[in-house]
Structure 1
């Protein structure tokens, strides 16, 4: 995880993606094995590091200044899409020895989290593929419609550290790019209202609170989903720098309330526009609330609105979100 972040719990990931503006020139470089990465940076291959149990994708050493998802290859691990039947998405992770990785640790109830988003941030899916014995991960294709997509594999190889690798995938067909929705302090999804309070600013620690209600009443009985009461994916507009994080605490620990509000402390070291996707489970279904947040000097040019555009109602169960193109598996 980006070592410049100073925050706790869930906020760690929020600040990391807000503040990650380092080393982007490395992204276009060639795929390199672990030893070459270390030599390029003049540093030893010391592995990755995470701060607490707040999320995935944090690294040190060769990619210590990069947020998650900007590299297709890191520390010798490489993400490679492979041919698959129509309607299926498949990929492999190869290790430093060049062979497909077949052993993964369970992180937040799953061995692999696959997140995809269109480059214009108009589509988002979070799914969990199945692993074949040969190291191929397979899932019903989450690429819902034509466009340029970014696919993020969020995982921990057994014996290694947490990684998030990213690769671009193109789905042919006509597509009209959609502008990033305006910043908002409230959004609705599947009949729920989620409000966002806080004003992240570079160089200052700020409180950020998300509060969930339904029919005007606070939701105080959120259900565990992947071992937590909520998950956040934050993507930076432009390069889609990524971080997948979880709230501080966990269900059943005697101190973590199941809603309605979750508060974070975030220090935002850089300015920019970001899309936030908050997953929460209630009533037996997973829902995703989306926000655009503008941090720093550009905020004056894009004042927040009161409410963002409501999403399309999602199907019941864990397969849908309130915005077209969203889903969980």
Structure 2
């Protein structure tokens, strides 16, 4: 059964409300066109250059606004639509108000949909399929009750990369989960991943993640979305979205398939961030998670344990909260 969706103001204090429908609950996010809020660019989305998605070269303050804080920007709007239970469906409408149907491929896909619970206890990265009318559909990535932030990360053909975000409320009993403390090491599915490097606000930081299995270095990581690793950073509180790029790519003659994967990141402010590293090995994608304080060393405690996932066919974990496709 579908329930009503309500889009309402969230990040900048301005709001617009419109009706839609969605099979799991309510969606909320700011509908603040760039022309109204004075922000010409958000600088978010999948790009082709090193560093994080924090600046796409636009003018004004929004050139430094992280992605995912707006549901509408530069004339593009993230618009959920009617969907059967168990399915997530949406369109992206363009400056002309019509659904966008032309997208550039970035990191092997035309659309990246990332969802995370607002307490950062759940995370999924999936790739919907688009119908000819511009509607994107995917099995719902929302793993259980709570308020989730959904991010549509894409590049419209002829436009600049964008990440638009909206809150999705899944009804039901909810127990808030505390964020794990900062740690340099985490484990997932028998893999141990160690993080080296610090996040320094306003500066480009090198983060190196080393993958081991049963104590042995993994030297045959498999490409995933055009790289040996895929890293997303979310800022605690507003869940500002930072897609971080790897330093190098498979086949470039210098980048090895593990055990180390290095990323270049730039965070906009001091604070606490949650890092999600997707890596593929043995035909399965796993997610290693870290809590990191920007402005202080990333190695505040020696170990942490990520939510263990169960391998599934292709690129899908099969475990709610940590899946891919």
- TM-score above 0.5, yes or no: yes
Kept after mapping to 1: 8 A contact 2:41/2:74:
no
Q: Which residue of 1 is the match for residue 59 of structure 2? A: 61
Give runs of aligned pairs for residues 1-20 of structure 1, distance below 5 A.
Answer: none
- Determine which of 12, 19, 42 is the counterpart of 1:26: 12
In structure 1, what is the equivalent of residue 98 of structure 2?
99
More deviation, 268-277/88-97: 268-277
> What secondary structure, in the 3-state scheme, does the structure 2 residue paired with 1:246 have?
strand
> Which stretch of structure 1 is more off in the superposition, 283-292 or 250-259?
250-259
Q: Answer yes or no: is the 8 Å Cα contact 1:117–1:149 preserved in 2.
A: yes
Q: How does 1:288-303 map to 2 (within 5 A)?
A: 288-296=287-295
**Distance in structure 2 (CA, Å) of the matches to 1:200 and 1:143:** 29
Q: Secondary structure at the match of 1:61?
A: coil
Greater RCO structure (CA 8 Å; 6+ sep): 1
> Is this contact kept in 2: 1:271–1:296, CA < 8 A?
yes
* 1:4 equivalent in structure 2: none
What displacement does 1:205 show? 6.1
DSSP 3-state at the match of 2:280: strand
Preserved contact between residue 100 and residue 134 of structure 1 (Cα < 8 Å): yes
Matched position secondary structure for 1:26: coil
CA distance in 2, matches of 1:304, 1:243: 22
Determine the C-alpha separation between the residues in 2 that align with 1:57 and 1:65: 6
Contact 2:124 2:322 in 1 (8 A): yes
Show the counterpart of 1:16: none
Match of 1:116 in 2: 115
Verify: 1:316 aligned to 2:312, yes or no. Answer: yes
* Corresponding residue for residue 26 of structure 2: none
Query: How many residues are aligned here?
Result: 297
In the alignment, is the contact (CA less than 8 A) between 1:47 and 1:61 conserved in 2? no
Cα distance in 2, alignment partners of residues 123 and 47 from structure 1:
25
Matched, 1:165 2:164: yes
Distance 2:120 2:129 in 1: 26
Give yes or no for contact 2:273–2:291 (8 Å, CA) kept in 1. Answer: yes
TM-score when scaled to structure 2? 0.83
CA contact (8 A) 1:56 1:155 kept: no
- For 1:277, what is the secondary structure of its paired residue? strand
- More helix, by proportion: 1
Gaps of 5+ in 1: 1-23
| Residues in 2 aligned to 1:319 and 1:102: alpha-carbon distance in whole angstroms | 26
Asked if residue 325 in structure 1 is aligned to residue 311 in structure 2, the reply is no
* Runs of 5+ unmatched residues, structure 2: 1-9, 17-30
Please give the TM-score of this superposition, normalised by the length of structure 1: 0.82
Offset at residue 261 of structure 1 (A): 1.1
In the alignment, which residue of structure 2 is the partner of 1:153? 152
Q: What's the counterpart of residue 190 of structure 2? A: 191
- Offset from partner CA, 1:61-83 (integer Å, 9 cap, x none): 36213100001011000001111
Cα 1:185/1:73, change in 2 over 3 Å: same
